[in-house]
């Protein structure tokens, strides 16, 4: 196998691995929503935007006949739709990060996964010289950095469910 083919295969594998990892971060939110019967610490917008993105990429993958895009985005669309349906089932009210000055409702693991996924797909698109892969994934890198900034500006509070010892 030539060097370019091996590099493309490794990068394609990284894209699949990071993307499926990103999609699976919602499983912890799903478990939390089912256990608490609420959506208090879960945000809806990432599920919606990722689902729309998956459906778009699934269409593009079908158009190009690219099985990497088809399989990954079919799995993603199914998972994101499931997350949305469970969210809507348990949703009673909404909270905002800026209004509450709290990142308790943001997922740090999803932020990292989104950065890795968006970066790997962007590099994959550059490698294939395909702007239809590069352009839609680049905003994921930017929004990840915005979320990192929010985590820095509004750090998550530590769990304070313990008793202080008297001295």
Structural domain count, the chain: 1
Question: How distant, in Å, are the alpha carbons of 5, 112, 118, 134, 138 from that of 123?
Answer: 15, 17, 9, 7, 10
Average pLDDT over residues 57-77: 89
Q: Identify whether 162 is part of a domain.
A: no
Q: Identify whether 167 is part of a domain.
A: no
Q: Domain residues for 27?
A: 3-153
Q: Identify whether 59 is part of a domain.
A: yes
Phi and psi of 96, rounded to 5°? -115, 145
Q: Identify whether 31 is part of a domain.
A: yes
Given a cut of 80, whether residue 72 has pLDDT beyond it is yes
Total residues belonging to the chain: 167
Please state, in angstroms and rounded to a whole number, the distance separating the CA atoms of residues 39 and 146. 23
Contacts (Cβ under 8 Å, ≥6 apart) of 37: 90
The DSSP H or E segment spanning 21 is helix 3-24
Q: Could you tell me the two tokens for 120?
A: 């790997």
Q: What is the pLDDT of residues 79-129, one digit of tens each?
A: 999 998 998 888 865 576 666 677 776 778 888 988 998 899 899 989 989
The DSSP H or E segment spanning 100 is helix 97-100
Phi and psi of 106, rounded to 5°? -100, 145
Confirm if 48 and 84 have CB atoms less than 8 A apart.
yes
CATH code of residue 13: 1.20.1280.290
Q: Identify whether 78 is part of a domain.
A: yes
Task: Categorize the per-residue pLDDT at 159 as very low, low, confident or very high, splitting at 50, 70 and 90.
Answer: very low
Contacts (Cβ under 8 Å, ≥6 apart) of 84: 44, 47, 48, 51
Q: Which of 61-75, 96-110, 143-157 has the highest mean pLDDT?
A: 61-75
Q: Identify whether 158 is part of a domain.
A: no
């Amino acid at each position: 196998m030539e060097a370019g083919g091996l590099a493309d295969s490794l990068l394609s594998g990284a894209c699949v691995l990071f993307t499926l990892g990103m999609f699976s971060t919602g499983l912890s939110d799903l478990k939390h929503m089912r256990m608490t019967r609420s959506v208090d610490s879960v945000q809806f917008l990432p599920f919606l935007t990722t689902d729309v993105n998956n459906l778009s990429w699934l269409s593009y993958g079908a158009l190009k006949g690219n099985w990497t895009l088809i399989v990954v985005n079919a799995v993603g669309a199914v998972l994101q739709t499931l997350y949305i349906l469970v969210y809507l089932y348990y949703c009673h009210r909404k909270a905002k990060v800026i209004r509450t000055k709290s990142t308790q409702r943001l997922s740090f693991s999803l932020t990292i996964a989104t950065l890795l996924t968006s970066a790997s797909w962007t590099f994959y698109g550059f490698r294939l010289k395909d702007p239809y892969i590069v352009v839609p994934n680049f905003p994921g890198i930017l929004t990840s950095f915005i979320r990192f900034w929010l985590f820095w500006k509004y750090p998550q509070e530590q769990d304070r469910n313990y008793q202080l010892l008297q001295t």
